[in-house]
Structure 1
Amino acid sequence: MAANKGIGFFERYLTLWVFGCIGLGIVSGHYFPGLFQAIGSMKAAEVNLPVAVLIWLMIVPMLLKIDFGALHAVKQHARGIAVTLFINWLVKPFSMALLGGLFIRYLFADWLPAGQIDSYIAGLILLAAAPCTAMVFVWSNLCDGEPHFTLSQVAVNDAIMLFALSLLAALQWLSPLSLSALLLTLILLFGFQGQQILAQPLVIGLLAVPIIIQVYFNAGLAYWLNRKLKVAHCVAGPSALIGASNFFELAVATAISLFGFESGAVLATVVGVLIEVPVMLSVVQLVNRSKHWYEQETI
């Protein structure tokens, strides 16, 4: 089971792979503009065919059967699951809308292209609206989380995304094929958008600010609520991590399908990919280091 595995080599250095693909895309777009123009012209019914293939390669590994059998364990961890659901579905999307509006529409507006403001905010909300159901097994393992809670929580989130949001079933493990398709998509994305980004290099950094703030806010709120409800630390840890992390592959694919490959929404979701691993590892460290403090009240 994925919950029994540590973070793999491919996932551990995801940030480096993303930076590499960003650089390769920008350089390729600069020196081979004709190639990207040709790729951009490969359309059918206004859908870019190479990008459509890459989206499916991101999504197909996610089309694994949801483990509805894990739902039987929900009652055993009702308080922890209730907290996580509250954070994932009632706090996270709306707090990101608030943070996106505050930072992107107001505080950072002078440094961002005016025509992309709404698109950036939409991408940030998409990122927040998709709770992670893959890497959370890794985060849970790293903080000695209760594996049955993690599995049952993921099953609940999968079911909600499948039925309530009409989205595709979520993956139970992080597929190298899915990530490879994601990285190839990033090369194309930055091949098309590279010149715009080079003209405004602060864009990625500015978009990262509300994402980082939201990760720590949601993780902290979930952790605190679990402590108040006297939930065991082995459940509170993964609850906080599930509440904070994002299903970035799905967010990127959804942004492309809704707003187009060259939209600001896609770029905003890509920033989530860029910072996911280092930020979440820092949350894992905070959860582990605060265990003694947490258990002082919950014992």
Structure 2
Amino acid sequence: MVFVWSTLMGGDGAYTLVQIVFNDLLMLFLYVPTAVLLIGASNIALPWETIILAVALFLVVPLMISASIRSVVVCNYGEKFLQDRVVAPCAPLTKAGLLAMLVLIFIFQGKQIGNKPLDIVLLVVPIVIQVVVTSGITYVFGYFTCMPHSRLGPAS
């Protein structure tokens, strides 16, 4: 999803990848404990295992699948083939998929969002903290390494 947003704003893929990796590491190590802490404060029964499973399914599994596909394609056909025959044809689909995902989330969860606004706030807090920390560290790092803003903006 981050790559789609970065592509839409003309971002540099290499720098966007750095941000995604850092973001995923923070999600793996900070999101789960923060979510459990905040959810526990609201007396919602949500076991650690459920949160860890969700993080694994939405971060680890897609990363492993995409890394495996990339490795196989690059080893057998080369980087140019990957870009021209795999990535480029998927570009229009990714934009449509991102839009569909956002619409479907609100369609299927609209009632829950409306019925439990406090619960939604408790889930949003760790996500907002993670985004601010990730973006801030990335932007400060890029600024002090004299990274051009045209690359730094999409990356952070």
Letter in 2 for 1:183: V
2:132 aligned residue (210, 216, 228): 216
For residues 189-268 of structure 1, what are the structure 2 equivalents within 5 Å? 189-190=109-110, 194=112, 198=115, 200-240=116-156
Q: 1:95 to 1:126 in 2, by over 3 A?
A: farther
Q: Could you say what secondary structure the match of 2:95 adopts?
A: coil
TM-score, length-scaled by structure 2:
0.56
TM-score, length-scaled by structure 1:
0.33
Q: Could you say what secondary structure the match of 1:103 adopts?
A: helix
What are structure 1's unaligned runs of at least 5 residues? 7-76, 132-158, 241-299
**CA shift at 1:108, angstroms?**
3.4
Distance 2:6 2:133 in 1: 25
Q: In the alignment, what sits opposite 1:174?
A: 95
For residues 73-112 of structure 1, what are the structure 2 equivalents within 5 Å? 81=14, 84-89=16-21, 91-112=22-43
Distance 1:161 1:227 in 2: 33
- 1:104–1:121 Cα contact (<8 Å) kept: no
Higher relative contact order (CA 8 A, sep 6+): 2
**CA shift at 1:109, angstroms?**
1.0
**CA shift at 1:127, angstroms?**
5.5
Q: Could you say what secondary structure the match of 2:147 adopts?
A: coil
**CA shift at 1:212, angstroms?**
0.9
**CA shift at 1:208, angstroms?**
0.6
**CA shift at 1:225, angstroms?**
1.8
Q: In the alignment, what sits opposite 1:70?
A: none
Distance 1:209 1:125 in 2: 20
Distance 1:4 1:95 in 2: 23
Q: In the alignment, what sits opposite 1:187?
A: 107
**CA shift at 1:4, angstroms?**
9.7
Q: 1:116 to 1:189 in 2, by over 3 A?
A: farther
Q: Could you say what secondary structure the match of 2:146 adopts?
A: coil
Q: Could you say what secondary structure the match of 1:174 adopts?
A: helix
Q: 1:202 to 1:112 in 2, by over 3 A?
A: farther
Q: In the alignment, what sits opposite 1:72?
A: none
Q: Which of these two proteins has the greater Rg computed from alpha carbons? A: 1
What are structure 2's unaligned runs of at least 5 residues? 72-85
For residues 54-69 of structure 1, what are the structure 2 equivalents within 5 Å? none
Distance 2:6 2:151 in 1: 13
